[in-house]
Amino acid sequence: MNRTPVVFIHGAWLHALSWEPWAERFASRGFLAFAPGWPGEPLTVGEMRTWEMRKVSEKLAGIGLDTLTDHYAKIVDSFDIAPVIVGHSVGGLIAQHLIGANIGQAAVAIAPAPVSDIALPAPPAGPWIADQADGTHPLVSLSSEQFHRFFANMVTAEESDRLFDRYAVPTPRRLLADLGCAGSARSPRTVADVGNADRGPLLLISGQEDLLVPDAGTRAAYKQYGDSLAVTELKQFADRAHSLIIDSGWRFVADYVLGWLDERGLRAHLT
C-alpha cells in the first residue's frame, strides 16, 4: 500500500518549523508529510536569527521567487507518487504556479500572495511595512510589534509573542521585490496558469481579517480561475488573520483541508 505525499511550503517571515503541527496532523491521517525549508534555511529559528545578526548567508539573502519556485518544483517532482502541495503566503503562490504547470496532483493555497495582476494591499498593510531604514539590508525582519499588528492581528499579544518567538524569521528583500512590494516590478513567476483545464484540484483559503493578504485578494484569485474546467474552490475563515496556519485555530484549517482532500478522492493511501 502506497502513501500519498504532502509537501508543505512556508511563506515569508516564517520558518519551515511553522508546519510542524500540520505535518503531525497529516501523518496521523496516513499521509507522508514533508515540510522542506527554503534553500540555505538553517534548521532552527534561533540559527536563522543569529545568522541575520552576525553574518547574512549569501544563499539565503539572494533567494528570489525563481529560486524558490524551482526548488519546490524539483522536490514535488521527485516523488514516485505525485504529492499534494499545501502552501501559505508566498508558498500559496508557488503552489498555484506548480499545479498550473501540472506539477503535483492537487494544491491548497492558504492566504496566498497575489498572483498575476491582482493588486497588492495598499500601505501600510503591505509586506513592505517591515522595511529597514536604509532599505539596503538583504534580509527584512519584522519586530514582535509588527508581527502582532500585521501578521497575527486576531490573537492576543501574548499568543502573538509566543508565535513570534517560535516561528518568525527574517525574509529576503529580493523575494519581496519579486512580489512587487514597494512598487518594484513583479517577477514573471507570480503568473499562474489560471486557464489550465487539465490540472489537479485547487483549494484557495483566506482569513477574512488578514491584513497582509486580504480576503479580497484571494477572492480575486478565485475569480480568475472561473473559466477553467478544473476544480477550484474557495474557503473563507471568518475572524482569522495571516497567522491562521500557526495560531490556536490552526487545527480548524488543517482539518478542513483534510476533509476537502477526502471529498475530492485524494486519500492518504493508494491501493
Structural domain boundaries in the chain: 2-270
pLDDT of residue 130: 45
Please give the full DSSP string across the chain, using - where no structure is assigned. Answer: -EEPEEEEE--TTB-GGGGHHHHHHHHHTT-EEE----TT--SSHHHHHHHHHH---HHHHT--HHHHHHHHHHHHHTSSSPPEEEEETHHHHHHHHHHHTT-SSEEEEESPPPPTTPPPPPTTSSGGGG--SSS--SEE---HHHIIIIISTTS-HHHHHHHHHHHB--EEHHHHHHTTGGGPPPPGGG---TT-SSSPPEEEEEETT-SSS-HHHHHHHHHHTTT-SS-EEEEEETT--TTTTTSTTHHHHHHHHHHHHHHTT--SEE-
Mean pLDDT, consecutive 10-residue stretches, the chain (271 aa), reads 93 96 97 95 78 59 92 97 97 97 98 89 52 63 92 97 95 91 84 94 98 94 93 98 98 98 91 63
pLDDT of residue 164: 97
pLDDT of residue 122: 62
pLDDT of residue 133: 44
pLDDT of residue 31: 97
What CATH homologous superfamily does 2-270 map to?
A: Alpha/Beta hydrolase fold, catalytic domain (3.40.50.1820)
pLDDT of residue 136: 66
User: What is the pairing mode between strands 5-9 and 32-34?
Assistant: parallel
